[in-house]
Amino acid sequence: MYHAIVFLPLIGFLIAGLFGRLIGARGSEIVTTSLLIVSAVLSWIAFFNVGFGAGTTRIQVATWMSSGGLQVDWAFRVDTLTVVMLVVVNTVSSLVHLYSIGYMHEDPHRPRFFAYLSLFTFAMLMLVTADNLLQMFFGWEGVGLASYLLIGFWYQKPSACAAAMKAFIVNRVGDFGFLLGIFLVFVLTGSVAFDTIFPQIAGLTERSFRFLGYDWNALTLTALLLFMGAMGKSAQFLLHTWLPDAMEGPTPVSALIHAATMVTAGVFMVARLSPIFEYAPVALTVVIVIGATTAFFAATVGLVQNDIKRVIAYSTCSQLGYMFVALGVGAYSAGVFHLFTHAFFKALLFLGAGSVIHAMHHEQDMRNMGGLRKHIPLTAAAMTVGTLALTGFPLFAGYFSKDAIIESAYAAVAHKGFAASYAFVLLVVAACFTSFYSWRLYFMTFEGKPRWGAGAHASHGHDDHAHAAHGHDDHAHAAHAHDDHHGHGHDHKPHESPLVMLIPLALLSLGAVAAGFAFKGAFIGDGYDAFWKSSLFTAKDNHILHEMHEVPKWVIWSPFVAMLIGFVLALYMYLLRPDVPGKLAAANPVLYRFLLNKWYFDEIYDFLFVKPSMWIGKFLWKKGDGFVIDGMGPDGISARVVDVTNRVVRLQTGYLYHYAFAMLMGVAGLVTWYLVARG
C-alpha cells in the first residue's frame, strides 16, 4: 500500500510529462487526478491503521549507496507523523488537481502543469516518508525544484520567472545550513539513518565541536544548522522574502505550496528530528523567537496588502510562525496539529480566492471587487468557513490548534523565560491582526458596494488613496499570459465557478469545520501517547502538553478576545465607515508605507546582497574576464599570432613563377652571404 501511496504521483508525472501530447490535456488531467485520488484514499486508510492501530514500520525499497562508513538505504519510515503528513499532502494535492481541471481549462499547457503538480507531490512524499537524512534531503531538493517549475509556470511573464528564481535562490541559503547539519550529524554519529542517530543523541549533550573558530555545543550547533534549512523552506523571518512572490504562479500552485507541501516541510523536519532539538535547549529558544517574530511580522504586513492572494500568503507565513513556536516550547504535537488543521482551511482560502479571481476574470486586486456575495454565494460561503477557521472561531479547526499553541507558549514561561513570554504576547497580538486582515479580505471582496463593472468609480473608497505611488507592490495583477484575452474583466458580470472547482471547496470546508474537533483528543488530548506512539520525542522533564491544559482562564480566553477585536475593527472600517482606512493611512504615511513595503526587506537585501553581487560579477566580467583573460588571451597573444599568420599566408599565392622568383632570391642571397663571409 505504501509503495502505491508514494509512487502513484510519480507515475502520473511520467505519463503526463512524457506522453502529454499523445494523450492530450484531458487525458493528462484524468490520469494524474485519478492517481492522486487513489493515493489520498490509501493515505487515509494508512492514517487510521497506524495512528489508531499499528506502530512504526520500516519498509525497505532498495539499497541506495554504500561508501566507506556511509550506508544509505531507500526506505519508508511509516509512523504516526508520517501518515499525518501523507493525509495532508495527498488530500490537498488531489483536491488541487481536481480544482485545476476547472481553473486551468483555458491554458494550452495543461499536461505540463499537471505533470509538475504530480512531481511536486511525489517529492514531498519522498521527504515525509524518509528513513534517513539523505533521503529527506532528496525530497527536500525535489520540492524546491518543483516549486521553481510551478511558480515560473507562466514563463512568458518576467515577474513569474523572477519569482521562481527568488524562491530557488533564497531556499539554497537555507539548504546550505541543512546540508552542513547533515554533515555534522554524520560526524557525530557515523550515520544518517534515524534509527541509528536517535539512540546516540542523549550521549552527545556534553560534546563540543569547533566551528568558525569557536567551540560550540555539538547538538546546539547541529540543531541550529538544521533549523536554518527549515527557516528557508518554511519562510521564517529573514528567509521569508520568497513566499509572497510565489503568488506569481497559478492559484492552485499557491494552495499546494502554502497548505500542504513546501512550506510545511520545515515544520515536519523539526518535528521528525525532535530527539535532536529536545537536547538542544538553546536552539529551541532560537526557534521560539524566530517563530514568534515571523507570526507578528507577517501579520502586520497582511494588514495593508490589496492583492487577495498576497493577504493569504502572509497569513500562511504568520501561521507557520505559530507552528514553530509550538515546536520551540516542546509542544511538538500541537505544532503538527496546527499543520494538520491549517492545511484544510488554508487550501480552502487559496482555492476560494482562485474561485473569486476566476469569477472576476483574473482580477486579484480587492479594491476592484466588493458585493460579490450575491453573485458567487457558494464561493462566499466557502471563504466564510475558511475565515472562521483561520481566525479561531469556536469549534472550527483553527480554534483548537491555534489556541493550543498560545496556551502552550504561556505554559512554557516557567521553563523558557523571556522567550516564551515574548512568544505569548506576539502570538495574541498576531491573532488580533489575523482576524482583522482576514475579515478585511472578506468584507472588501464580498460585501459593500461593487467596485467593478463599467459603473465603478475610479476611486475605490477604501485605503487606496495613493497606492499607485508605492512602486513594486503595484504590479499588474491580471497579467496572466494565457488570459490576456479577458482583459481586466471590469465590464463582465462575475459568475460562479464550475462544479469541478466547487467540489474541492466543499470537501475542504468540511475539513476546516471538523478537523480540529474530530482529532483534538488524538493529537493533543488524553489519547496523545496512544496516537503518536513515540514518533514525536519528548524528554522526561517535558510536561508541556499537561501544563497547557492548566493555564489560567484569561489565557484561554485571550485568543478569542483578540479575534473579536480584529473582527469588530474590520467591520467598522470596511463596512460601517469605509472612509476611515484612507484617512488612517493618510495620517500615518510612514507606518503605512513601511507595512505596505513589507518592512523594506526586499530593498535591504537588494542593497546588501544583490547589488554588491552584481557589482562583483560585472567587475570580474569586464576587468577579469574581458581585460585580463581576453586581453592576454584571445584579444592579446592569440590575436597577434593570428595577425602574423594571416600576413604570412598571403605569401602563399600558388603561382609557380612566384616560387621560382623566391628561390632565385634565396640563391642570390646565399651567394652574396658566401662571398662576403669569405672576404
3-state secondary structure (DSSP) of residue 56? coil
Q: 357 and 479 in contact (C-beta within 8 Å)?
A: no
Q: 35 and 11 in contact (C-beta within 8 Å)?
A: yes
Give residue 678's pLDDT: 73
Give residue 297's pLDDT: 96
Give the pLDDT band (50/70/90) at residue 224.
Answer: very high
Give residue 464's pLDDT: 43
Side-chain half-sphere CA neighbours of 343 within 13 A: 28
Q: How far, in Å, CA of 462 to CA of 464, rounded?
A: 6
pLDDT at 475 over 50: no
Give the pLDDT band (50/70/90) at residue 67.
Answer: confident
pLDDT at 135 over 80: yes
38-63 tens-digit pLDDT: 999 999 999 998 888 777 888 998 88
- Work out the average pLDDT over 125-130: 94
Mean pLDDT, rounded, of the chain: 88
Q: How far, in Å, CA of 186 to CA of 675, rounded?
A: 85
538-594 tens-digit pLDDT: 888 888 889 998 999 999 999 999 999 999 999 999 998 888 989 999 999 999 999
Over pLDDT 90: what percentage of the chain?
Answer: 60
- Work out the average pLDDT over 112-141: 94
Q: Which three cell numbers stand for residue 151?
A: 511558480
293-338 tens-digit pLDDT: 999 999 999 999 999 999 999 999 999 999 999 999 999 999 999 9
Give residue 653's pLDDT: 77
Q: 355 and 479 in contact (C-beta within 8 Å)?
A: no
Q: How far, in Å, CA of 52 to CA of 46, rounded?
A: 10
408-464 tens-digit pLDDT: 999 999 888 899 999 999 999 999 999 999 999 999 999 888 887 744 544 344 444
- CB atoms inside a 10 Å sphere around CB 481: 13
Give a three-class secondary structure readout of 523-583: HHCCCHHHHHCCCCCCCCCCCHHHHHHHCCHHHHHHHHHHHHHHHHHHHHHHHHCCCHHHH
Give residue 456's pLDDT: 55
Give residue 459's pLDDT: 39
More confident residue, 288 or 214: 288
Residue 614 has φ and ψ, to the nearest 5°, of -65, -40
Give residue 466's pLDDT: 37
Give residue 492's pLDDT: 67
Residue 66 region, left (φ>0) first, then alpha (ψ -120 to 50), else beta? beta
Q: Of the given ranges (186-190, 193-197, 285-289, 465-469), which has the lowest mean pLDDT?
A: 465-469
Of 314, 312, 306, the C-alpha closest to 365 is 306
Q: 248 and 309 in contact (C-beta within 8 Å)?
A: no
- Work out the average pLDDT over 394-400: 92
Give residue 679's pLDDT: 62
Q: Which residues make beta-bridge pairs with 211?
A: 214
Give residue 168's pLDDT: 92
Give residue 531's pLDDT: 87
Report residue 80 CA to chain centroid gap: 24
Give residue 472's pLDDT: 37
More confident residue, 618 or 630: 618
Give residue 32's pLDDT: 95
Residue 208 region, left (φ>0) first, then alpha (ψ -120 to 50), else beta? beta
Residue 24 region, left (φ>0) first, then alpha (ψ -120 to 50), else beta? left
487-531 tens-digit pLDDT: 344 456 888 889 999 999 999 999 999 999 999 988 998 877 888
Of 348, 346, 342, the C-alpha closest to 378 is 348
Give residue 108's pLDDT: 87
Q: 227 and 283 in contact (C-beta within 8 Å)?
A: yes
Give residue 529's pLDDT: 81
Tell me how far CA of residue 499 lies from CA of 36, 195, 378, 625, in angstroms: 19, 47, 11, 59
**Amino acid, res. 539:** A
